[in-house]
């Protein structure tokens, strides 16, 4: 059992937050993670009332968090109100300027968690007084930026120690097993946010064909690209792109975005069909560089407990690599 300021503050058994992955993190996954002692979250992402309502229904009875994509939800303020009515265990914001949203949530005394991708955004979120900063490295699956987990976490930890010692810090990006959690703690984090490894769990709303593509891939097979947002007609700010597993689709368009724009109608149609059928060559799997460490599709509880118990052992042994 690993007790940190994060487990104490949020009342968790394990210092692990499940990332609110758009569409993939529904009520079943969120509830399973929270039930097993982590903090589960619903990936409300771009905000769609029917989907949110269904997923909060499924998770009913478990304390789960709700995660939004900041720039998207700023355009749909009513959905923040809806989320707050669900009395989530925490609100998680990523990608964009969260000032107004954070201030609102703070009035409801619900913990605020802000995921950032740069040191500057970390400083800004810390000044807003958020409860937990998530420093997310580029190795993460899905949307992100360029900084790496290995340097962003200690740099933010130093800033927190000097300026806002009550702020908690989680590492995100590249963490899928006990080694990653133990390393995150060494780097100065109070816990970890885990995405891809839960994306590849039985409770995730992900087609098994897509999950199997992640099992087959190694870490060299992923790429950060703009293709997937263009095809899905999502208006992401220029600074962000998404890490996915390379496939025929990505290889075809990654370096030809302006050509893709000309064929958008057909390509979007093919994407949507591929999404339905779970065709890993027509749709991209949103998985991080940890693809190389994902070898089976487990239940979320198994994932959570294995990460936590492996980290616990490593911390006790002072890593497997230190000779006694």
Per CB under 8 A, does 22 bind a copy of itself? no
In whole angstroms, the minimum distance from the beta carbon of 79 to a copy of itself comes to 31
Q: Which stretch binds a copy of itself (CB under 8 A): 107-115, 153-161, 232-240, 245-253?
A: 153-161
In the sheet that holds 168-172, the strands lie side by side as: 16-18, 191-194, 168-172, 132-136, 112-116, 91-94, 65-69, 41-45
Q: Should residue 137 be labelled a site residue for a copy of itself when binding is judged by CB under 8 A?
A: yes
Pick the closer one to a copy of itself by CB: 107 or 166: 166
Given a contact cutoff of 8 angstroms between Cβ atoms, the answer to whether 62 and 87 are in contact is: no
- Given candidates 50, 120, 162, 165, which one binds a copy of itself under the rule CB under 8 A? 120
**What does R_g of the chain's alpha carbons equal in angstroms?**
19
Cβ atoms 209, 280 nearer than 8 A: yes
Judged by CB under 8 A, how many residues of this single chain contact a copy of itself? 53
Q: Residue 206 is encoded by which pair of tokens?
A: 């992900």
Is residue 119 near a copy of itself by the rule CB under 8 A? yes
Distance in angstroms (rounded) separating the CA atoms of residues 209 and 211? 5
Residue 107 vs 320, nearer CB to a copy of itself: 320
Six-digit token string for 134: 């998530």
58 near a copy of itself, judged by CB under 8 A: no
Q: Is 187 an interacting residue with respect to a copy of itself (CB under 8 A)?
A: yes
- Rule CB under 8 A: choose which of 118, 268, 302, 309 binds a copy of itself: 118
Task: State which residue, 59 or 193, has the beta carbon closest to a copy of itself.
Answer: 193
Name the token pair of 199.
Answer: 């994306």
- Is residue 250 a contact point for a copy of itself (CB under 8 A)? no
What six digits make up the tokens of 234?
């999502």
Instruction: Using CB under 8 A, pick the residue from 49, 148, 257, 264 that binds a copy of itself.
Output: 148
Residue 108: how many other CB atoms lie within 10 Å: 12
8 binds a copy of itself (CB under 8 A): yes
130 binds a copy of itself (CB under 8 A): no
Among 47, 86, 110, 139, binds a copy of itself (CB under 8 A): 139
Q: What's the token pair of residue 291?
A: 């693809």
Q: How far apart are CA 111 and CA 240, in angstroms?
A: 25
> How many whole angstroms separate alpha carbon 95 and alpha carbon 131?
17
C-beta of 80 vs 304, nearer to a copy of itself: 304
Tokens at residue 219, please? 């870490």
Stretches 79-87, 97-105, 286-294, 297-305: which one binds a copy of itself (CB under 8 A)?
A: 286-294
Which stretch, 47-55, 62-70, 84-92, 113-121, contacts a copy of itself (CB under 8 A)? 113-121
C-beta of 78: minimal distance to a copy of itself in Å?
Answer: 34
Among 78, 186, 257, 264, binds a copy of itself (CB under 8 A): 186
**Beta strands in 46-202, from DSSP E residues, in sequence order:** 65-69, 91-94, 112-116, 132-136, 142-144, 168-172, 191-194
Choose, by CB under 8 A, the member of 220, 248, 259, 261 that binds a copy of itself: 220
What is the longest distance spanned by two Cα atoms in the chain? Answer: 62
Q: Is 107 in the site for a copy of itself (CB under 8 A)?
A: no
Task: Determine how many CB atoms are found less than 10 A away from the CB of residue 81.
Answer: 9
* DSSP for residue 315: H
């Amino acid at each position: 059992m690993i007790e940190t300021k994060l487990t104490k503050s949020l009342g968790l058994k394990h210092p692990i937050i499940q990332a609110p992955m758009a569409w993939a993190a529904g009520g079943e996954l969120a509830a399973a993670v929270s039930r097993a002692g982590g903090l589960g979250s619903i990936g409300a992402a771009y905000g769609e009332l029917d989907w949110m309502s269904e997923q909060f229904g499924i998770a009913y009875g478990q304390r789960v968090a709700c995660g939004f994509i900041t720039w998207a939800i700023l355009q749909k303020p009513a959905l923040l109100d809806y989320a707050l009515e669900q009395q989530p265990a925490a609100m998680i914001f990523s990608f964009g300027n969260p000032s107004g949203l954070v201030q609102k949530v703070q009035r409801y005394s619900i913990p605020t968690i802000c995921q950032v991708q740069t040191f500057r955004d970390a400083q800004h979120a810390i000044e807003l007084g958020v409860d937990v900063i998530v420093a997310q490295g580029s190795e993460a699956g899905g949307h992100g930026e360029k900084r790496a987990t290995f340097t962003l976490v200690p740099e933010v930890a130093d800033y927190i120690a000097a300026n806002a010692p009550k702020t908690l810090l989680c590492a995100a990006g590249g963490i899928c097993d006990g080694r990653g959690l133990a390393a995150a703690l060494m780097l100065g984090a109070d816990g970890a946010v885990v995405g891809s490894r839960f994306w590849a769990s039985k409770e995730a709303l992900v087609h098994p064909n897509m999950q199997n593509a992640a099992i087959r891939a190694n870490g060299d097979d992923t790429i950060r690209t703009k293709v997937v947002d263009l095809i899905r007609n999502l208006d992401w700010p220029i600074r962000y792109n998404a890490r996915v597993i390379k496939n025929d689709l990505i290889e075809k368009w990654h370096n030809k975005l302006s050509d893709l724009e000309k064929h958008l109608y057909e390509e979007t149609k093919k994407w949507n069909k591929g999404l339905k059928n779970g065709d890993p060559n027509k749709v991209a799997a949103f998985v991080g560089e940890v693809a190389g460490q994902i070898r089976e599709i487990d239940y979320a509880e198994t994932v959570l407990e294995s990460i936590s118990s492996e980290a616990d052992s490593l911390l006790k042994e002072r890593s497997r690599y230190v000779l006694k």
